[in-house]
């Protein structure tokens, strides 16, 4: 897909990767960019910069996602490309409270389900459409220090694959963007002390947008702003046990360097 003349919706479009996508889609000549975010001011600011429409939306609420799809369709007649980008990061393992598990699965996984439910029937009726799911390398590999993030992103990737298989013959295209560290509030903010090892190889949100434009043009399922993730994924598939041993060594290094559990 070339974004020129397309109607595009981006959730979490008010900051970070979503903002970079909105700005790049506008530069590519999108007919309309709908900027959806929980943060009304951020959505308005980005929408003004891309001559688009802002919609306040909590993607964890199905009614909000449906209202977003309705508002975009009412304003521009259809949706060609829906980008489920909004996501959150929470640290935690088995001990994390159920409220955290519910919240992260609602935002990082169920939002993708709600989006697909909201837009697929019209996309199929209009002869096709495109879902761009911003997942994470954590969906292919794992996330040291956060079972919450790792599992919610695996679920998001599994749903993206499933939709690509189930609806591909009806003209529905799907891409999953799986970056490692990206220099946004999520990586640079206070939640991310244990993620400092990801900062070293991090890319800018604009570099992610560049990879997305190339991936959409190629209509490629997996979009990897960090190409080395493909090698890690191949190594995991080729020898799972070896990969697990390597990840344990990485965990020990990360936990050790952050002094998180006092093991050093």
- The residues annotated with a catalytic role in the active site are 149
Looking at 7, 14, 215, 224, which residue binds ligand NAD (CB under 6 A)? Answer: 14
Q: What H or E segment, with its residue span, contains residue 159? A: helix 147-167
* Tokens read off for 103: 């919240």
Q: Quote the least distance from Cβ 54 to ligand NAD, whole Å.
A: 12
Kindly list the strands in the beta sheet with 172-177, ordered across the sheet, starting from the edge strand earlier in the chain.
Answer: 53-56, 32-37, 7-11, 81-84, 129-134, 172-177, 222-223
Looking at 21, 35, 38, 123, which residue binds ligand NAD (CB under 6 A)? Answer: 38
In the range 74-113, which residues lie near ligand NAD by CB under 6 A? Answer: 85-88, 107
User: Which range, of 15-23, 24-32, 114-122, 228-236, touches ligand NAD by CB under 6 A?
Assistant: 15-23
Cα–Cα distance, 157 to 135 (Å, whole number): 7
In the range 161-190, which residues lie near ligand NAD by CB under 6 A? Answer: 179, 181-182, 184-187
Is residue 136 at the binding interface for ligand NAD, with CB under 6 A as the rule? yes
Residue 171 CB partners (closer than 8 Å, separation 6+): 123, 124, 127, 128, 129
Cα–Cα distance, 34 to 135 (Å, whole number): 20
- Shorter beta-carbon distance to ligand NAD: residue 39 or 100: 39
- Shorter beta-carbon distance to ligand NAD: residue 85 or 142: 85
């Amino acid at each position: 897909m070339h974004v020129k003349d397309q109607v595009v919706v981006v959730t979490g479009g008010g900051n970070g990767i979503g903002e970079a996508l909105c700005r790049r889609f506008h530069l590519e000549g999108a007919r309309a960019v709908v900027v959806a975010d929980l943060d009304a001011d951020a959505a308005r600011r980005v929408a003004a910069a891309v001559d688009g429409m802002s919609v306040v939306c909590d993607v964890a609420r199905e009614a909000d996602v449906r209202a977003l799809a309705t508002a975009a369709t009412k304003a521009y007649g259809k949706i060609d490309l829906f980008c489920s980008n909004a996501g959150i990061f929470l640290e935690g393992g088995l001990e994390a409270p159920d409220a955290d598990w519910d919240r992260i699965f609602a935002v990082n996984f169920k939002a993708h389900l709600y989006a697909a439910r909201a837009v697929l029937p019209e996309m199929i009726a209009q002869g096709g459409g495109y879902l761009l799911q911003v997942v994470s390398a954590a969906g292919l590999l794992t996330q040291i220090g956060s079972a919450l993030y790792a599992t919610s992103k695996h679920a998001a990737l599994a749903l993206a694959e499933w939709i690509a298989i189930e609806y591909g013959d009806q003209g529905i295209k799907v891409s999953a963007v799986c970056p490692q560290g990206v220099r946004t509030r999520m990586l640079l903010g206070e939640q991310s002390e244990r993620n400092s090892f990801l900062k070293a190889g991090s890319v800018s949100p604009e570099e992610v947008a560049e990879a997305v434009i190339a991936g959409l043009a190629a209509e490629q399922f997996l979009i990897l702003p960090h190409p080395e993730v493909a090698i890690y994924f191949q190594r995991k598939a080729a020898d799972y046990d070896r990969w697990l041993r390597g990840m344990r060594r990485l965990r020990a290094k990360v936990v050790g360097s952050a002094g998180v559990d006092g093991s050093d």
